[in-house]
Amino acid sequence: MAAAWSLLTAAASAQPPGPDRAPSPTAALQPLAQQARSLAATLASLGQPFTDEEQTRIDDAIAASDERAAVGRLQQALDAQVLAVVQINAESRVSVARGPARPELVEGGTRIFLVKVLNQAGVTTPLVVESPNSGRVYTPSWESTFTAEPVQTVTARDVMERWAEISIYRTEVNVYSAASFGGRLTGFPVEYQLLQVYSRDRGQRSALLRFGVGQGSQDLGFRGEVTIPFEARPAYPVTLHVADEDGRPAVAGFVIKDARQRVYPTQSKRLAPDLWFQPQVYRADGDTVLLPAGAYAVTCGRGPEYLPQVQELVVSGPGEVRCRPERWIDPSRRGWYSGDHHIHAAGCAHYESPEQGVSPKDMAAQVQGEALNVGAVLTWGPCYYFQKRFFSGGDHPLSTDRNLLHYDLEVSGFPSSHAGHLVLLGLSEQDYPGTQRIEDWPSWDLPILLWAKAQKAITGFAHSGWGLAVSIPDLPNLAMPGFDSIGANEYIVDVTHEGAVDFISAADTPPPWELNIWYHTLNVGFRTRISGETDFPCISGERVGQGRVYAKVDGKLSYGGWTEALRTGRAYVSDGRSHLMDFTVNGREVGTGGSEVSLSSGAPARVAVKVAALLDALPNEAVRRLRFDQAPYWHLERARIGSSRDVPVELVVNGRVAARQTVTADGVVHDVSFEVPLAQSSWLAVRILPSSHSNPIFAIVDGKPIRASRRSAEWCLAAVNQCWTQKAPKIAAGELEAARQAYDHARDVYRKLIAESR
Residue 280 has pLDDT above 70, yes or no: yes
Give the pLDDT band of residue 219 (cuts 50, 70, 90): low
Do 502 and 569 lie in one domain? The reply is yes
Taking each helix axis from N to C end, the angle separating 67-79 and 52-63, rounded to the nearest 10 degrees, works out to 160
Taking each helix axis from N to C end, the angle separating 710-727 and 736-756, rounded to the nearest 10 degrees, works out to 170
Closest residue by Cα to residue 491 from 469, 523, 459: 459
- Picking from 43-47, 234-238, 708-712, which range would have the lowest pLDDT averaged per residue? 43-47
Closest residue by Cα to residue 179 from 42, 23, 24: 42
Total domains present in the chain: 4
Structure confidence by residue, pLDDT tens digits, 390-413: 999 999 999 999 999 999 999 999
Do 602 and 632 lie in one domain? The reply is yes
How far is the C-alpha of 116 from the C-alpha of 84, rounded, in Å? 6
Cα 753 from chain centroid? Answer: 39
How far is the C-alpha of 260 from the C-alpha of 281, rounded, in Å? 19
Give the pLDDT band of residue 23 (cuts 50, 70, 90): very low
Do 355 and 473 lie in one domain? The reply is yes
- 97: number of Cβ within 10 Å: 18
- Picking from 113-122, 154-163, 535-544, which range would have the lowest pLDDT averaged per residue? 154-163
- Picking from 132-146, 340-354, 492-506, 586-600, which range would have the lowest pLDDT averaged per residue? 132-146
Q: Which of 285, 300, 327 is the last residue of a domain?
A: 327
Do 96 and 217 lie in one domain? The reply is yes
Arithmetic mean of pLDDT, 191-219: 86
How far is the C-alpha of 61 from the C-alpha of 67, rounded, in Å? 9
How far is the C-alpha of 519 from the C-alpha of 687, rounded, in Å? 13
Arithmetic mean of pLDDT, 78-101: 93
Give the three-class secondary structure for 577: coil
Residue 353: what pLDDT? 66
Residue 432: what pLDDT? 97
Do 546 and 581 lie in one domain? The reply is no
Residue 8 has pLDDT above 80, yes or no: no
Residue 5: what pLDDT? 26
- 6: number of Cβ within 10 Å: 10
Arithmetic mean of pLDDT, 538-543: 96
CB 343 within 8 A of CB 378: yes
Give the pLDDT band of residue 103 (cuts 50, 70, 90): very high
- Picking from 174-183, 251-260, 407-416, 481-490, which range would have the lowest pLDDT averaged per residue? 174-183
- Please list, in sequence order, all residues whose beta carbon lies within 8 angstroms of the beta carbon of residue 249, skipping any fewer than 6 positions away: 242, 243, 284, 285, 286
Give the three-class secondary structure for 531: strand
Amino acid at 495: V
Do 29 and 118 lie in one domain? The reply is yes
Give the pLDDT band of residue 11 (cuts 50, 70, 90): very low
- Picking from 9-23, 327-341, 497-511, which range would have the lowest pLDDT averaged per residue? 9-23
State which residues form the domain around 249. 235-327
Q: What is the CATH number of the domain that holds 735?
A: 3.20.20.140
Residues forming a β-bridge with 285: none
Taking each helix axis from N to C end, the angle separating 446-454 and 736-756, rounded to the nearest 10 degrees, works out to 90
Q: Is the dihedral of CA 214, 136, 78, 620 positive or negative?
A: positive
Do 171 and 85 lie in one domain? The reply is yes
Amino acid at 285: D
Q: Is the dihedral of CA 538, 268, 180, 48 positive or negative?
A: positive
Phi, psi of 72 (to 5 degrees): -65, -45
How far is the C-alpha of 748 from the C-alpha of 752, rounded, in Å? 6
Arithmetic mean of pLDDT, 285-306: 96
Do 344 and 460 lie in one domain? The reply is yes
Q: What is the mean pLDDT of the chain?
A: 91
Q: Which of 294, 309, 327 is the last residue of a domain?
A: 327
Structure confidence by residue, pLDDT tens digits, 249-278: 999 999 999 999 999 998 887 888 899 999
- Picking from 13-22, 64-73, 676-685, 738-747, which range would have the lowest pLDDT averaged per residue? 13-22
First-to-final CA distance of the chain? 87
Residue 7 has pLDDT above 50, yes or no: no
Do 96 and 213 lie in one domain? The reply is yes
Residue 153: what pLDDT? 55
Give the pLDDT band of residue 222 (cuts 50, 70, 90): low
Structure confidence by residue, pLDDT tens digits, 579-620: 999 999 999 999 999 999 999 998 999 999 999 999 999 999
Residue 292 has pLDDT above 70, yes or no: yes
- Picking from 222-226, 487-491, 694-698, which range would have the lowest pLDDT averaged per residue? 222-226
Q: Which of 708, 728, 749 is the last residue of a domain?
A: 708
How far is the C-alpha of 296 from the C-alpha of 259, rounded, in Å? 7
How far is the C-alpha of 400 from the C-alpha of 452, rounded, in Å? 27
How far is the C-alpha of 89 from the C-alpha of 84, rounded, in Å? 16
Do 558 and 417 lie in one domain? The reply is yes
How far is the C-alpha of 306 from the C-alpha of 330, rounded, in Å? 9
How far is the C-alpha of 655 from the C-alpha of 658, rounded, in Å? 9
- pTM value is 0.89
Q: How far is CA 384 from each of CA 344, 381, 411, 446, 482, rounded to the nearest angstrom? A: 11, 5, 11, 22, 30
Q: What is the CATH number of the domain that holds 266?
A: 2.60.40
Phi, psi of 756 (to 5 degrees): -90, -10
How far is the C-alpha of 753 from the C-alpha of 532, rounded, in Å? 29
Residue 26: what pLDDT? 72
Amino acid at 30: Q
Do 700 and 716 lie in one domain? The reply is no
Q: Is the dihedral of CA 482, 484, 487, 491 positive or negative?
A: positive
Residue 151 has pLDDT above 70, yes or no: no
Arithmetic mean of pLDDT, 532-543: 97
Give the pLDDT band of residue 218 (cuts 50, 70, 90): low
Do 178 and 122 lie in one domain? The reply is yes
Arithmetic mean of pLDDT, 36-61: 93
- 20: number of Cβ within 10 Å: 8
- 473: number of Cβ within 10 Å: 15
How far is the C-alpha of 18 from the C-alpha of 708, rounded, in Å? 75
Q: Return the H-helix or E-strand segment holding 686.
A: strand 682-688
Q: How far is CA 60 from each of CA 51, 72, 80, 261, rounded to the nearest angstrom? A: 14, 12, 16, 21
